[in-house]
Amino acid sequence: MVIELTALAENLIVGLLMGSFYALMAVGLSLMFSVMRIVNFAHGEFYALGGYILYYLTTLFGLNNFLALPLVMAGMFAIGLTVERLLLRPLLVEALGGEYAIITTFGISLFIVNFAIAFFGPEYKTPPSFVPIFRISLGTLYVSGDRVLVSLIAAGILLATCLIIYKTRIGLAMRATAQNRDGAMLCGIEVFKTNMTATGLAAMLAGAAGALLSPIMLLFPEAGSIPATKSYVVIALGGMGSLPGAIIGSIVLGVVESLGTVLLSAAYRDAYSFLVLITVLLLRPQGIFGVKVREV
Partner 1 sequence: MSSKGGIGAKTLYIIVGLVAVLVIAVGVAYYLSLPPAGQEVQVIKIGGVGPLSAPGASIQGVELKKGIEIAVELINQEGGLLGKKVELVFEDTQGTPEKGTTAMEKLIMQDKVPIVVGEYHSSVFLAEMEVARKYGIPIIDASAWSSTIRTKQYREVFATAPCTALNAEHEAKFIVASGFKNVLILAEDTDYGIDMARDLTSALRRLGFNGSVVTEIVSRTAKDFTPTLLKYKNLPTPPDIIVLPATPPAGFLIIKQAYEIGLVPEIALAYEVTGAGDRYTELWPAVGDGGKYLVYFTPYSPRITLTSLGDKVREIYKSRYGAEPTYIVFNGFDAAWAALHAIKKAGSTTPSALIKALETLDIMGTRGVIKFSNATSPAYYYHQWLEVPVLTCQYKEVNQAPTESDIIYPPEFATGTLVKP
**Cβ 177 to partner 1, closest distance in Å?**
34
Contact flag: residue 242 with partner 1 (CB under 8 A): no
Q: Could you say whether residue 105 binds partner 1 (CB under 8 A)?
A: no
CA–CA dist 50, 99 (Å, integer): 27
Q: Which of 49, 110, 108, 112 lies closest to 84 in space, CA to CA?
A: 108
21 vs 77, beta carbon nearer partner 1:
21
Pairwise CA distance, residues 195 & 98, whole Å = 15
Q: Closer CB to partner 1, residue 104 or residue 151?
A: 151
94, 99, 123, 295: which one binds partner 1 (CB under 8 A) = 123
CA distance readout (Å), 219 to 108, 204, 216, 244: 19, 17, 9, 29
Q: How far is residue 109 CA from its own chain's centroid?
A: 15
Regarding 265 and contact with partner 1 (CB under 8 A), the answer is: yes
Q: For 27-40, b where at least 16 C-beta lie within 10 A, e where not — what string?
A: bbbbbbbbbbbbbb
Q: Which of 242, 169, 240, 160 is nearest to 208 (CA)?
A: 160
Which residues within the stretch 180-239 sit at the binding site for partner 1 (CB under 8 A)? 213, 216-218, 220, 225-227
Name the minimum Å distance from CB 209 to partner 1: 12
Interaction between residue 135 and partner 1 (CB under 8 A): yes
43 binds partner 1 per the rule CB under 8 A: no
Told to check if 45 binds partner 1 by CB under 8 A, we report no
Which of the stretches 27-35, 117-125, 155-163, 180-188 binds partner 1 when contact is defined by CB under 8 A?
A: 117-125
Q: Does 266 bind partner 1 (CB under 8 A)?
A: yes
Q: Count interface residues toward partner 1 (CB under 8 A).
A: 41
Using alpha carbons only, give the angle 74, 80, 82 rounded to the nearest 5 degrees. Answer: 105
Q: Burial of 194 by CB count in 10 Å (0-12 exposed, 13-18 middle, 19+ buried)?
A: buried
**DSSP code at position 285:** T
Which residue among 147, 237, 239, 253 contacts partner 1 (CB under 8 A)? Answer: 147
Residues near partner 1 (CB under 8 A): 3-4, 6-7, 10-11, 14-15, 18, 117, 122-126, 129, 133, 135, 137, 142, 144, 146-147, 213, 216-218, 220, 225-227, 257-259, 261-262, 265-267, 269-270
